[in-house]
Structure 1
Amino acid sequence: MAVPDDELIVLLTEDGQPTGTAPKLASHHGDTPLHAAFSSYVFDASGRFLLTRRALSKKTWPGVWTNSCCGHPAPGESAVAAVRRRLAYELGLHVEIDEIVPLLPDFRYRAELDGIVENEICPVFGVRVNSEPVPNPDEVEEYRWVSWPVADRAGLSPWSLLQLDELEGHPAITTLLPTGEARR
């Protein structure tokens, strides 16, 4: 189940206003325009975090370990709706809107690897699930549940490293952990 070649991303001005759309695959290159994205961090009932490794066939950051799921809202789609859509597509996880918690609504980053640039305004969400993922091999090479906060960050995607720095100790994370389990 591959992503359609004609998937569109939403282009943004420097202040985050939509300015149009562009084909996703053709837009990620050495001069990637600023565009809308999202990242999500999935937690289970035990408070473990779902770490995923991007499929080796991915154009950007193939085989790199990263947050649970990330992607791009379609034109006219909210970030929360995109989180739900991509969690179902990438990980077979079906979540309700009230299971999605905004964590870093204004997160923005730029990263480069092998001539491919990510340039995104990328709100970060937390998600609580009660089921095991069923990864789509076109998107996810493998996954593992890890303790929170993430101690071993070696080899993680650049956006995950930046996000983890801001998420550690974030008060909204406690809403995703088991009751009474306060972490650093």
Structure 2
Amino acid sequence: MDDERIVLLDADGHAIGTAPKASSHHGATPLHLAFSCYLTDPAGRILITQRAHGKRTFPSVWTNSCCGHPAPGEGLRDAVRRRVRLELGLEIESMTLILPEFRYRATAADGVVEHESCPVVRALATGDPRLHPDETAAADWRDWESCVALVDDPSASPWYREQMAQLITLGKPADWPAAPTSLLPPAIAW
């Protein structure tokens, strides 16, 4: 994972190059491509995770199920499946694009910045997570009300708070409507 590359973006979401992930996250992190995934189970719960304590950016925060960076030339669905398998040991049964235009910039307590164009997807997964310890410290299937309450918890990630501000207006996860894939940043295919 040390040689992982991120896709750098211009202000309109077009790819303008790649860079090493490890050295690209600092106080002036460039805009780059990412994703956030909310895994649901057949009971309608969402898998909430705590980032590993040794993560370079935003260690130990509670957040959505899985985040990651599509590799250069990798489609969004393939990137989500790859990271969910790596971080959580789960397989995805179905996936829906929910917030294709989500973008945020957040600064951690140590000054490291995340600056991402970060489409949000909902995916159905089954089974018990098998956590990769370098990526995920803990995981918990939570009902919707618990996910909404986490927004006010100071241990929640800034992107979780911003995403939830939009997702709450859509209702419960089963009610989230599919968004058109044409709204994705030009740098990523569905």
TM-score between the two structures when normalised by the length of structure 2: 0.86
Report the secondary structure of 2:59's partner residue: coil
Number of equivalences? 171
Whichever residue aligns with residue 90 of structure 2, its letter is L
Which ranges of 4 or more aligned residues in structure 1 deviate by more than 6 Å?
A: none
Whether the 8 Å contact between 2:103 and 2:118 is mirrored in structure 1 is: yes
Deviations 1:18-65 (A, max 9, x none): 000000010000000000000000111111111000001100011111
1:32-71 equivalence runs, <5 A: 32-71=29-68
Deviations 1:136-157 (A, max 9, x none): 1110001111111422330200
* Residue 163 of structure 1 pairs with residue 163 of structure 2: yes
Deviations 1:58-116 (A, max 9, x none): 000111111100000000001111100000000001124xx111010000000001110
Equivalent position to 2:150, from 149, 152, 161: 152
Matches of 1:84 and 1:163, distance apart in 2: 20
Pairwise CA distance, 1:174: 2.0
Matches of 1:125 and 1:174, distance apart in 2: 12
Q: What do you get for the CA RMSD once the two structures are aligned? A: 1.4
Q: Which residue of 2 aligns with 1:133?
A: 129
* Residue 109 of structure 1 pairs with residue 107 of structure 2: no
Matches of 1:158 and 1:24, distance apart in 2: 20
Matches of 2:142 and 2:96, distance apart in 1: 19
Matches of 1:147 and 1:115, distance apart in 2: 33
| Structure 1 stretches lacking a partner, 5+ long | 177-184
Matches of 1:132 and 1:71, distance apart in 2: 20
| Structure 2 stretches lacking a partner, 5+ long | 177-190
* Identity percentage of aligned residues: 51
Whether the 8 Å contact between 2:44 and 2:143 is mirrored in structure 1 is: yes
TM-score between the two structures when normalised by the length of structure 1: 0.89
Whether the 8 Å contact between 1:103 and 1:124 is mirrored in structure 2 is: yes
Pairwise CA distance, 1:172: 8.4
